[in-house]
Each structure stands twice: as structure tokens, then as C-alpha cells.
Amino acid sequence: MSGTPPEGPPRLVCRCLGVSSSRIAGVAREGARTVEEIQQQLPAGQGCSSCRPEIEEILAGVHGVPYPASLAEQNRQTCREQSERRVANAVYGAISLRLPPGVTVELVSVNGLTVDLHVDGADKAAERRIAERLRKMVCPDLLVVFS
């Protein structure tokens, strides 16, 4: 077992309600010690609750409590898969359907809170609107980059 640094690369922990690890760690540093105390200040874990193990891991890291490395790796894998699915659903299931004719968007990658999109046929203002919509639909802390 080892203490898990809460600050590791920021990630989308609560995929249902769009809460990042950074926000959860901030509330934990302010004194929250349980998932329930986190939920009193953030919506994290109040949807499907599949993020509860990640919230517990962040709490352990902030408060210097050992957390099993194998569980931390499992959390990271689940987070990567579910975050990519959540972003892809937003991009292809909603955003791309509302784009003007001739504009296309492709999800290149999701790495923590960084989403890389490739957009054809759009100007900078359209890219800003796409990024704003994605942050609104998924998580306000997303960094959306265009390649």
C-alpha cells in the first residue's frame, strides 16, 4: 500500500455530474474526510456512484492515508474508459448533430481533463462554442484543445 498523491494528473472523477479530481481534492483540503462530507459541498458521487472509490482515493491522498496501489490503478483505468466514453457521447451524440453543414468534429483523445478535438470547416468562434458546449455537458474544468 502507498499513499496516493491527490494532485496527480487532474481527471474527471464524477462522470455523471462533471466533477474533477481538483475540486474534490480542494474540498478535502478544506477538511472533508468522508465521501458524504464531499457530497455536502459537491455533487460528486450523487449520480450512479461509480466514482466513490476514486473519491475515497483522493481523500486518502489528501489526508496521508495509505491507499492500495492496485485499487488506484483500477480507478485510473475505469476513469480513462468512462471519461472517454462520456466525452465521445457528448461530441458525437449531441455537439456534432448541431453543427452547421460542412463543419465536422472528431475526438482525437481524452487525457485526464484535456480533450483534443479536430474540427474541419469551423472558425475560431465556432471552436469556442464547441468547447463551451463540451464543458457545459461534461465538466467545467475541461481543457479543450484543437489540433
- Mark whether 53 and 99 lie in a shared domain: no
pLDDT 10s digits, 36-87: 999 999 999 998 999 999 999 999 999 999 999 999 999 999 999 999 999 9
| Nine-digit cell string for 61 | 491522498
pLDDT at 59: 96
pTM of the complete model beyond 0.75: yes
pLDDT at 13: 96
Domain that holds residue 104: 90-146
- Mark whether 17 and 69 lie in a shared domain: yes
pLDDT 10s digits, 89-108: 999 999 999 999 999 999 99
- Mark whether 47 and 34 lie in a shared domain: yes
pLDDT at 140: 96
* Residue 123, amino acid: D
Confidence of residue 9 (pLDDT cuts 50, 70, 90): confident
- Do 16 and 35 form a contact (C-beta atoms < 8 A)? no
pLDDT at 43: 95
- Mark whether 95 and 80 lie in a shared domain: no
- A 10 A CB-CB count for 94 gives 12
Counting the structural domains of the chain, the total is 2
pLDDT at 1: 43
SS3 62: helix
